[in-house]
Amino acid sequence: MNTMQLDNQYIARTYARQPVALVRGENATLYDESGKKYIDMGAGIAVNVFGACDAAWREAVTSQLSLLQHASNYYYTQPMAELARLLCEKSGMRRVFFGNSGAEANECAIKVARKYGGGVKDTIVTLENSFHGRTITTLSATGQDAFHRDFGPFTPGFCHVAPGDIAAMREAFSNHKVCGVLVELIQGEGGVRVLDTGYIRAVAALCEEFGALLMVDEVQTGIGRTGRLYCYQNYGILPDVVTSAKGLGGGLPIGACLLGEKVKDVFAPGDHGSTFGGNPVCAAGAVSVLSRMDDALYREVARKHDILVSALSGCAGVLGIEGIGLMLGVRTREDAHALVGSLREQGVLALTAKDRLRFLPPLSITDDELTEALTRVKEVLA
Ligand SMILES: *Cc1c(COP(=O)(O)O)cnc(C)c1O
């Protein structure tokens, strides 16, 4: 049996995969088992920040791999400590808890808020149309019914309000004992919906007024994607908790829950843990990624954003574009899911988010790769 047949027979049927078996790549150019070439406009869902097999990243990962692959959290390891320092210095947060995924980072944030609430305040407010992960508790936080079907009962203590509606948020604070608010600044799985700066600042002010934590889910928006390390840095706010994963390891599984001044000492030994959390190989990859998050990179993200937006806005079949940096959602005349199929046939790997076409290319995509992708996109969408 070939890869697709094996997968279809033996892998749990949770994914509607594209009929492509990827083998190797270089930056935003990928190849499948038949040798067919693709331009990668999804980066493994915002994971491969510097594309496939970036030389510096690979060197960092393989050097650590030839020293020690794992140590457990009973011991200190240098890459994890160094990564935490970089994250704190670049974000304004104070301490970090490491896990292995976005869902785990959000689980940690939820535990932080509950402990901070001291058994008195226990409700976490999230937004309708949000996405926070697939564990039962992060599903409970997620404000989309489509993800809830078949999996109840859910974790109590969550309340969902409409994004952009500050009166509804204030009402949630009056009706519940709120210990924290958890929001995405751009709802990624929700269709690449950018939240308004004024609204987010008003939510931050409400959190301040009621002594609740402002927690930002930056799992998809983080790690340079929006032209800053974290998207909240575009909004002029400093959250109390920030969750990060996807792009953090540059392609290896690592998640982080960043703790601000108010909550940096909320946890005591024994309160939380993760066997693989902060694994030295993943952390070494993440250190390499973080050490290249600088103004020069952010300018490149902004420049490539402009190239994408100006090409797409002049493109027949495009009804609208939303997003920041290299996180773009495109409303199209044709069905977005069908377009992803046609694009794949033409050698472009794209994503959808709800009914929109979604582009999350590697931040390092070259101008040539971008031009090639845009040429095909224009042909397919027209
Ligand atoms: C992908 C995503 C998650 C879940 O991350 P996993 O690593 O798949 O657990 C959580 N929040 C947001 C905003 C995401 O985009």
Read off the pLDDT of each residue in 236-256 and give the average, rounded to a whole number. Answer: 98
Is the four-CA dihedral 95, 240, 322, 253 of positive or negative sign? positive
Q: One-letter amino acid identity for 123?
A: T
| pLDDT category of residue 116 using cuts at 50, 70 and 90 | very high
The answer, yes or no, to whether any atom of ligand 1 lies below 6 A from the CB of 220, is yes
Provide the token pair at 45: 């869902």
| pLDDT category of residue 216 using cuts at 50, 70 and 90 | very high
Write out pLDDT tens, residues 322-372: 999 999 999 999 999 999 999 999 999 999 999 999 999 999 999 999 999
* Measured distance CA(77)–CA(147) in Å, rounded: 38
Write down the pLDDT at residue 180.
98
Read off the pLDDT of each residue in 123-133 and give the average, rounded to a whole number. Answer: 98
Write out pLDDT tens, residues 291-312: 999 999 999 999 999 999 999 9
Number of other CB atoms surrounding residue 219 within 10 Å? 29
Read off the pLDDT of each residue in 251-263 and give the average, rounded to a whole number. Answer: 98
Testing ligand 1's pocket by substitution, the residue of 189, 352, 360 carrying the most ligand atoms inside 8 A of its CB is 189
DSSP string, 130-159: ----SSHHHHHH-B-GGGTTT-PSPPSSEE
Read off the pLDDT of each residue in 37-66 and give the average, rounded to a whole number. Answer: 98
Who's near 250: CB < 8 A, 6+ residues apart?
47, 48, 49, 50, 54, 57, 285, 286, 288, 289
Provide the token pair at 82: 């160094």
DSSP string, 67-109: T-S---TTS--HHHHHHHHHHHHHHS--EEEEESSHHHHHHHH
- Residue 75 forms beta bridges with which residues? none
Helix (H, G, I), strand (E, B) or coil at 143: strand
Write down the pLDDT at residue 324.
98
Write down the pLDDT at residue 294.
98
> How many A from CA of 368 to the centre of ligand 1?
30
> CA 249, 246, 292, 185: dihedral to nearest 10 degrees?
-150
The answer, yes or no, to whether any atom of ligand 1 lies below 6 A from the CB of 143, is no
Write down the pLDDT at residue 89.
98
Rounded mean pLDDT of the chain? 98
Return the half-sphere exposure (C-beta side, CA atoms, 13 A cut-off) of residue 300.
18
Write down the pLDDT at residue 91.
98
| pLDDT category of residue 374 using cuts at 50, 70 and 90 | very high
Q: One-letter amino acid identity for 2?
A: N
Q: Which residue minimizes the CA distance to atom 15 of ligand 1?
A: 220
Percent residues over pLDDT 70 in the chain? 100
Write down the pLDDT at residue 181.
98
The answer, yes or no, to whether any atom of ligand 1 lies below 6 A from the CB of 352, is no
Write down the pLDDT at residue 367.
98
Write out pLDDT tens, residues 12-35: 999 999 999 999 999 999 999 999
pTM, full prediction: 0.98
CB 313 within 8 A of CB 319: no
Q: One-letter amino acid identity for 79?
A: P
**DSSP label at 376?**
H
Number of other CB atoms surrounding residue 119 within 10 Å? 8
CB 234 within 8 A of CB 227: yes
